[in-house]
Homo-oligomer: A and B are copies of this chain.
Amino acid sequence: MRVLVTGADGFVGRALAAQLAGGALPVSTLTLTDRQFTAPPQASEASVVTGDLADPTLLTALLAPGFDLVFHLASIPGSLAEHDAVAGERANLSVPLALGRHLAGRRGPGNAATRLIFASSIAVYGPLGVEAVSVGTPTRPALSYGAHKLMTETYLTDLTRRGDLSAVSLRLPGVVARPPVNSGHGSAFMSLLFHRIAAGEAYDCPVPANSCCWWLSRKACVEALIHAARLGPQAGTVIQPPALLLTVAEVAEAAACLTGRPARIRWGDDATLTRLFGSMPPLDASTASAAGFAADADAEALARAAFEGVSQ
């Protein structure tokens, strides 16, 4: 099948492209696009298109050949989008709507609608209480990022209901361990933890040790994206994939254990970060689990996967 990955130079996108090039799906042509490529993709056979999807000419040209499967990962992270509302709306709302609109009604082999896997976010829920969160939990996004992801979900679900598209939105939690650059993700501390522990450095973690977070390694995230592509449309148009609910201390301990050195962490008390990312209730992903989605097996598996690509 003809596959397109947007945001293909990103943290998740690069790993997904490598998996696709490695045969995770029966790919006939693989096209990778991003605003820039910081390094050659690990997919030597892929066509690479560099440019901004917000440019209508580029988008039209990019989609002209037709695709059977599109992974839309391109996005501006939450806190960055909050500070640059215009860029945030363009990347996180206008582009996915335009992409959905372009793909709608196009048909592949067997008259099949284009399959679109959209990287949505748990930011659609907004402030969470103590009750378990499931895909049916009411959504009250507290950031433009989450509002735009939610609007896109609604749009893609409607195009799918009409039969014009076969879209599924995955509500992803923070994925670890992102590169230790200022990415604009509020949840960056969840990744920095691994980098500092891997380097044997002390870390001033901004949240308290008992902060409960949802954890997903890049490996498990890529597996979820690929699994979503394989599913039939009857699995639903919005999926809350499972993630591990662990305290930052539990994760730090598992990571330190792998290095054979004790973790040197000073715990902080950033109220905003703790509220947004460190006070997570249980996650009821039973629907997704029944459909074959899986989180990392445990804290050790998470840490092992998170360490992949992290310098130790």
Contacts and interface: CB of A to CB of B under 8 A. Distances in A.
Contacts of A51: none
A85 to B, nearest CB: 7
Interface string A142-168: 101001101100110110011000000
Given A89-B101, A147-B158, 9 more contacts: A85-B162, A93-B155, A141-B154, A141-B158, A142-B161, A147-B155, A147-B157, A151-B155, A154-B154
A85 B155 CA distance: 12
| Dominant secondary structure of chain A at its interface with chain B | helix
A125 to B, nearest CB: 12
A150 B154 contact: yes
Q: Please state the number of chain copies in the assembly.
A: 2
7 contacts: A85-B162, A138-B138, A142-B161, A147-B158, A150-B154, A151-B154, A151-B155
A87 B20 CA distance: 38
Contacts of A151: 151, 154-155
Contact of A162 (B144, B154, B158, B161): B144
Interface of A: 85, 89, 93, 101, 136, 138, 141-142, 144, 147-148, 150-151, 154-155, 157-158, 161-162
Contacts of A141: 154, 158
A186 to B, nearest CB: 16
